[in-house]
């Protein structure tokens, strides 16, 4: 219990520092960028799958700029901790950088004559390689989102496997549950309650939706899962609920 409170206190202090940086405190911003260099290097290294030298590798510079972007764009109202949010931003920016490097190889000088045709790249092979890289990057990105989503579900005492088993079987029931999640997300008081209590405010919720309390309880975990997706900076998982207007 004490450990959880201590961890929560550290997270709150960090978020206060982030807010200060957002308001123009450049000294605090510089402090955060310096303090979390190992955090940035670790996440960049996980994407590149090799050791990253902060002094030499361009990828680290991309990660550092992404961490700065995360400081500027973070909002605690989404329910995610800053470091969890920053991890996603850093990894996505590095993936985008690697992807752009893959799609824009260094151009050969127009003055340079290439005599050995065997050394020239086969356009079809290049296209296939690029498509494969794109697929692998997208797959990795999806796995990262799902991994983060699993952790968020745990904080609501929901397992990923349990969510799959408990999801509504009928399309109209799923759409109804998604609509309930949207209503919660768009209502500041309901959103704050769910983010803090990690459960649905049943009594209050029945005043805002045309769904019975029994149905809400039956689809409770699915509603919470959709609420988490709406609250987070997920790209691929939001495709699953792209029909939900927010």
Output the domain CATH number for residue 14: 1.10.1740.10
How many separate domains does the chain show? 2
Taking only the tens place, the pLDDT of each residue in 40-93 is: 998 998 888 888 888 888 999 999 999 999 999 888 776 678 888 888 889 989
Answer yes or no: pTM beyond 0.75. Answer: no
Predicted local confidence at residue 55, as pLDDT: 85
Q: Is the domain of 7 the same as that of 95?
A: yes
Establish if 111 belongs to a structural domain. no
What is the per-residue pLDDT across 103-153, written as a single tens digit (0 to 9) for each?
Answer: 544 433 333 333 433 344 456 655 565 566 566 667 777 887 888 899 999
**3-state DSSP of the chain:** CHHHHHHHHHHHHHHHHHHHHHCCCHHHHHHHHHHCHHHHHHHHHHHHCCCCCCCCCHHHHHHHHHHHHHHHHCCHHHCCCHHHHHHHHHHHHHHHHHHHHHHCCCCCCCCCCCCCHHHCCCHHHHHHHHHHHHHHHHHHHHHHHHHHHHHHHHHCCCCHHHHHHHCCCCHHHHHHHHHHHHHHHHCHHHHHHHHHHCCCCHHHHCCCCCCCHHHHHHCHHHHHHHHHHHHCCCCCHHHHCCCCCC
Full residue range of the structural domain in which residue 195 is found: 160-240
pLDDT at 110: 31
The domain boundary, picked from 65, 84, 104, lies at: 104
pLDDT tens, 19-43? 999 999 999 999 999 999 989 998 9
- Residue 218, in any domain of the structure: yes
């Amino acid at each position: 219990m004490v450990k959880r409170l201590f961890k929560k206190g550290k997270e709150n202090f960090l978020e206060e520092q982030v807010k200060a940086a957002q308001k123009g405190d450049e000294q605090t911003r510089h402090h955060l960028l310096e303090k979390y260099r190992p955090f940035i290097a670790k996440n960049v290294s996980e994407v590149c799958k090799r050791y990253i030298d902060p002094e030499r590798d361009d990828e680290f510079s991309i990660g550092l700029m992404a961490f700065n972007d995360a400081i500027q764009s973070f909002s605690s109202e989404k329910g995610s901790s800053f470091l969890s949010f920053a991890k996603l931003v850093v990894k996505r920016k590095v993936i985008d950088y690697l992807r752009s490097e893959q799609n824009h190889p260094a151009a050969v000088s127009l003055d340079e004559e290439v005599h050995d045709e065997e050394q020239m790249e086969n356009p079809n092979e290049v296209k296939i390689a690029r498509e494969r890289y794109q697929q692998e990057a997208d797959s990795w990105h999806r796995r990262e989102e799902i991994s983060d989503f699993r952790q968020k579900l745990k904080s609501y005492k929901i397992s990923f496997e349990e969510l799959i088993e408990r999801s509504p079987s009928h399309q109209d029931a799923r759409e109804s549950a998604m609509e309930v999640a949207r209503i919660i997300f768009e209502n500041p008081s309901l959103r704050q309650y769910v983010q803090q209590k990690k459960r649905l405010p049943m009594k209050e919720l029945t005043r805002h939706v045309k769904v019975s309390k029994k149905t809400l309880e039956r689809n409770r975990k699915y509603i919470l899962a959709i609420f988490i997706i709406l609250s987070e900076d997920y790209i691929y998982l939001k495709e699953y609920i792209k029909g939900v207007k927010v």
